[in-house]
Amino acid sequence: DAKTTQPTSMDCAEGRAANLPCNHSTISGNEYVYWYRQIHSQGPQYIIHGLKNNETNEMASLIITEDRKSSTLILPHATLRDTAVYYCIAYSNSGYALNFGKGTSLLVTP
């Protein structure tokens, strides 16, 4: 699975949109872009995933560039409970392990 690159940390004011970038320039055609987050001491929580098209669900939106080399996770109205480490993962749904990397630590402030 392709390697992903994310900023180490980001801040966001409560109520504002949080835009978390991810670079996956070597992603292959059969790899999805997955986003998970991990709130302190809890298990990783699935957020959203996509292949080519932009996706939206009740938690977030995922914007994937046309060349698929990067993507952005958008939390439209961040709350304090969104403070977590966010992981962007390129995964082919092969059945093997997810490579979580180091992720982005998002701090939402009042």
Which residue ranges make up the site for other proteins (CB under 8 A)?
A: 34, 41-46, 49, 93-98, 100-102
Give me the least distance between CB of 43 and other proteins, in Å please.
4
Give me the least distance between CB of 10 and other proteins, in Å please.
18
Q: Which is nearer to other proteins, 56 or 109 (CB)?
A: 56
Q: Which is nearer to other proteins, 11 or 46 (CB)?
A: 46
Give me the least distance between CB of 41 and other proteins, in Å please.
7
Contact partners, residue 59, CB within 8 Å, separation at least 6: 47, 48, 75
Strand order in the sheet with 45-50: 9-13, 104-109, 84-91, 32-38, 45-50
Give me the least distance between CB of 100 and other proteins, in Å please.
5
Q: Which is nearer to other proteins, 42 or 67 (CB)?
A: 42
Instruction: Enter the tokens of residue 2.
Output: 């392709």
